[in-house]
Amino acid sequence: MLRFLTSFFGNLFQIMLHLLTSKKNIIQNLLSIYVKTIGGSTLCIDVDPKCKVSYIKKLVAPQLGLEPNEMKVIFAGKELGDDIVIEECDLGQQSILHVVKIKRSSDQKNNISSRGEKCFTTSTPNLKNGGLLPLCEILDDSMFSTGSESRTNSISVDASDMDNSSADIKETEISEDHRQRPKKVHFFVYCPTCKDMKNGKLRVRCHFCKSGAFTVHSDPQSWTHVLEPKQITGTCENVPEHCELLLQNKEPTFAEFYFKCSEHVSLGENDQAVPLDLIRPNLKQVPCLACLEAPEIMFTFPCQNDHIACLYCFKQYCMSKLTERQFWQHPEYGYTLICPNGCADSFIKEIHHFRLLDDVNYERYHRFATEEFVLQAGGILCPQPGCGMGILADPDCIRITCQSCKYVFCRNCRQGFHIGECDTVETPENGLLNGNCNNELSCDNESKGDDASRTTIKVITKPCPSCKTPTERDGGCMHMICTRSGCKFHWCWVCQMEWTRECMADHWF
């Protein structure tokens, strides 16, 4: 609670500060940044983006009671070299730099890194070449692009050695521009503030104490390193005097990666964005599996075959699966899809990818997901058109009342409540759902309208006998297959029971 309050007031404070300073800064083209010390104090400084890190050290040193050469400036997992120019760091307004005092006894660091031996070689800062840039500036797109995941191990470019690395790049098309810097890494995120897909920035903190005064021992080389916990070790600059928990920590300290939106001014440390790791640059120009075009940004399905689709076709795929209710309710990931080619183990883990859908379809996605959740929890959906309220009722209770629309219905046949046997014969009176259907499940399916008379065809809905999802029939045979993923029950429209060979013989005409 206390933590929440402090961060709340911290945010408020920062927003107010921003309002006060932003106008002035736009005119003078200054950058408002925060400098945070291990002691917990925060300084706000305005700097020219063309100034160097050494200038920042000089600026804040007197206020911290330190000499500039006693300080380290840490940002996004790296200690910034003195000669780095601020605008090379992609800082953005309201970013936070961490300043720590250089420890005299440097043996502590060695202890930690020797325990984290499962991670690669420790990259030693070569501060003489102008020093290190923050991680987001060092990483290049090739490791995070389409089809790169399976090749993770073959890429051995040490990002901190960029200058003499041309010999290490052995991917197929080596062109002249590979002699220059590889393309800077590009991340896409779902930003809850902008409510849209945006460009994202990679940030790093200590997995244990969450302090941003943290430098990585090696750079992440793949999405796995970034998304899975405890992949990359690092040095946390936090000290026991400020965090007692540190004394109890027996493991090496690991980096925890997170993302921020690049497209709005940071609202503080808790202003994070969700990485959309399956949206990647298409450096190898692989064609979309559907339209065969190869635009720059693609959706990569998490399957063994590197199937990829352009974002437009990905959305088309989602919408058609949504209409057919063929999303899967995955116990861990939620309401999601697999690769359209049906590849094994290809569930989309991060369901924020479905935020790419427009508002109307995202709302449908959300509603269907809720309904699916209710069904899996043994609940019932109100059959009243346009209601669909999830109801968890006592299993013995036949007379169900919807709390939302007050409709009273029979649990077994989903028609208006009645005494006696359920009426399974189609008569005009029994069908509340007949004719006046206005729910998408029944109508959208066929909204293409292959002939004008469609609107006059009576759409009749009956619940699937197995999972009770409303299912429509508009002619054709009596053999129904539930379209809901995970159900696929074969049933008979007439008997409202499992389809049998007898049904096939008796009433398939």
Partner 1 sequence: MTDMSPSERRLQKELMSLIKDPPPGVSVDAEQAEQNLLQWTIHMEGALGTLYEGEQFQLQFKFSNKYPFDSPEVTFVGSNIPIHPHVYSNGHICLSILTDDWSPALSVQSVCLSIVSMLSSCKDKQRPPDNTFYVKTCSKNPKKTKWWYHDDSV
The residues that touch Zn ion, with contacts defined as CB under 5 A, are 191, 193-194, 206, 208-209, 211, 236, 238, 261, 263-264, 288, 290-291, 301, 303, 305, 307, 310, 313, 339, 341, 343, 382, 384, 387, 389, 402, 404-405, 407, 410, 412-413, 422, 464, 466-467, 482, 484, 487, 489, 492, 494-495, 503
136 binds, among partner 1, Zn ion, none (CB under 5 to 8 A by kind): none
Residue 191 makes CB contacts below 8 A (sequence gap 6+) with: 197, 198, 200, 261, 263, 264, 273
138 binds, among partner 1, Zn ion, none (CB under 5 to 8 A by kind): none
Q: Residue 163 and residue 133: Cα distance in Å, rounded?
A: 13
320 binds, among partner 1, Zn ion, none (CB under 5 to 8 A by kind): partner 1
Residue 294 · residue 286 · CB < 8 Å: yes
Kindly state the smallest distance separating residue 292's Cβ from partner 1, in Å. Answer: 5
List of E strands, 276-378: 279-281, 297-300, 308-310, 328-330, 334-336
Burial (Cβ within 10 Å: 0-12, 13-18, ≥19) of residue 233: buried
If we measure between CA atoms, which residue out of 111, 159, 124, 483 comes closest to residue 323? 483
Q: By C-beta, is 339 or 441 nearer to Zn ion?
A: 339
Q: By C-beta, is 67 or 506 nearer to Zn ion?
A: 506
If we measure between CA atoms, which residue out of 397, 401, 399, 373 comes closest to residue 387? 401
User: Which H/E stretch holds residue 127?
Assistant: none
Q: By C-beta, is 134 or 463 nearer to Zn ion?
A: 463
384 binds, among Zn ion, partner 1, none (CB under 5 to 8 A by kind): Zn ion
What the block records as the tokens of 142 is 């090739």
Kindly state the smallest distance separating residue 206's Cβ from Zn ion, in Å. Answer: 3
Q: By C-beta, is 187 or 317 nearer to partner 1?
A: 317
Residue 14 phi, psi (nearest 5): -70, -40
Q: By C-beta, is 343 or 398 nearer to partner 1?
A: 343
What the block records as the tokens of 403 is 């709390």
Tell me how crowded residue 32 is: count the other CB atoms within 10 A of its CB.
22
On the CB side of 188, how many CA atoms lie within 13 Å of its CA? 21
What the block records as the tokens of 442 is 């029944």
Q: Residue 182 and residue 187: Cα distance in Å, rounded?
A: 15
Q: Residue 416 and residue 397: Cα distance in Å, rounded?
A: 15
Q: By C-beta, is 420 or 476 nearer to partner 1?
A: 476
75 binds, among partner 1, Zn ion, none (CB under 5 to 8 A by kind): none
Kindly state the smallest distance separating residue 503's Cβ from partner 1, in Å. Answer: 10
Kindly state the smallest distance separating residue 322's Cβ from partner 1, in Å. Answer: 11
Tell me how crowded residue 432 is: count the other CB atoms within 10 A of its CB.
17
Supply the DSSP symbol for 412: T
450 binds, among partner 1, Zn ion, none (CB under 5 to 8 A by kind): partner 1
Q: By C-beta, is 349 or 479 nearer to partner 1?
A: 479
Tell me how crowded residue 350 is: count the other CB atoms within 10 A of its CB.
19
174 binds, among Zn ion, partner 1, none (CB under 5 to 8 A by kind): none
Kindly state the smallest distance separating residue 420's Cβ from partner 1, in Å. Answer: 31
Q: What are 190's strand-pairing partners?
A: 197, 274
Kindly state the smallest distance separating residue 323's Cβ from partner 1, in Å. Answer: 9
Tell me how crowded residue 139 is: count the other CB atoms within 10 A of its CB.
22
Residue 73 · residue 98 · CB < 8 Å: yes
316 binds, among Zn ion, partner 1, none (CB under 5 to 8 A by kind): partner 1
Q: By C-beta, is 406 or 488 nearer to partner 1?
A: 488
Whether 402 is catalytic = no
Kindly state the smallest distance separating residue 368's Cβ from partner 1, in Å. Answer: 17
Map tokens 């949504």 to a residue.
322
The residues that touch partner 1, with contacts defined as CB under 8 A, are 288-293, 307, 310, 312-313, 316-317, 320-321, 340-342, 448, 450, 474-477, 479-481, 490, 499, 504, 508-509
Residue among 477, 487, 492, 495 flagged as catalytic = 477
Kindly state the smallest distance separating residue 211's Cβ from partner 1, in Å. Answer: 47
Residues taking part in catalysis: 477
